[in-house]
A and B are shown apart, each in its own frame.
Chain A
Amino acid sequence: MIARPLLSSAFRLAARPAPSFASKFSPRISPIALRYLSAETRQAIDKAVASAPVVLFMKGTPETPQCGFSRASIQILGLQGVDPAKFTAFNVLEDEALRQGIKEYSEWPTIPQLYVDKEFVGGCDILVAMHQNGELAKMLEEKKVLVPAEGGESK
């Protein structure tokens, strides 16, 4: 529990790659080109998905989510104790090509979207359900993406 403020500041850091990602493919993509995924966009998203073990495509940033479902997803990842060093968030509102492209890429029409080890996990409903039934904790543990347990009792 003491990790919460730390976590959120680290999330802020973790979210930084977004601008450079945005600059990578904002220019010269016309609305028509958005209908299908260009090789260039696919490549950029491939890179984004692989940029950390846990990747969330969301509306807004971890500290200021712009949508309740994105906020809920971030909160769940925080509650689960996801290691900020292993987490990256991409703000789809900053980049129209990403916003449209990620839907095609994942064959999933909504935001947020969670990837773990480059595999699509689901949207917010799925995250909430997995959080409640214990599947999420199990998966994150297996993927070794949680904050390491501390050596001593920290009470």
Chain B
Amino acid sequence: MSIQTPMEDAMRRKITETLKPSHLEIHNDSSLHAHHQAMAGSTSKETHFRVVITSEAFRSKMQPARHRMVYALLKEEMAMEGGIHALQLRTRTPEEEEKQSAEGKGVPVEGGDVAAA
């Protein structure tokens, strides 16, 4: 059984190529939001994503700058009709990831940014 996930594939490809992450998780939460009013008329199964990225590319950058890097990469996907509607991001350097897991903060990303698409 093959499931088509063009959006997730594109995200994975772009993020991997550009940010060379040491750790990358892409969670598709779209089914949890399918009933939202904003999703009325949308047939896409790939609208809400939660992405966890650990990359050296984030070093010495503040969080807003890190998020902007990812937004820039996925600009087309976020702007297109029926594209990504919501994208939650967790952006860390390898040290930050290590430090946070040492502190036992295995907290998943909560809250995110809904594209006002």
Contact = CB atoms under 8 A, between A and B. Distances in A.
A124 B71 contact: no
A67 interface: yes
B67 A59 contact: no
Closest 10 CB pairs of A and B: A110-B113, A123-B113, A72-B111, A124-B111, A128-B111, A111-B116, A126-B63, A110-B115, A69-B114, A122-B64
Interface residues of A, number: 30
A79 to B, nearest CB: 13
Interface string A101-114: 00100011111100
Interface of B: 37-38, 63-64, 67-68, 71, 75, 78-79, 86-90, 105, 107, 109-116
10 contacts: A68-B111, A72-B111, A109-B78, A109-B113, A110-B114, A111-B114, A123-B67, A125-B88, A125-B111, A127-B111
A122 to B, nearest CB: 5
Given A122-B63, A123-B67, A129-B63, A111 B113 contact: yes
Contacts of A99: 116
A88 interface: no
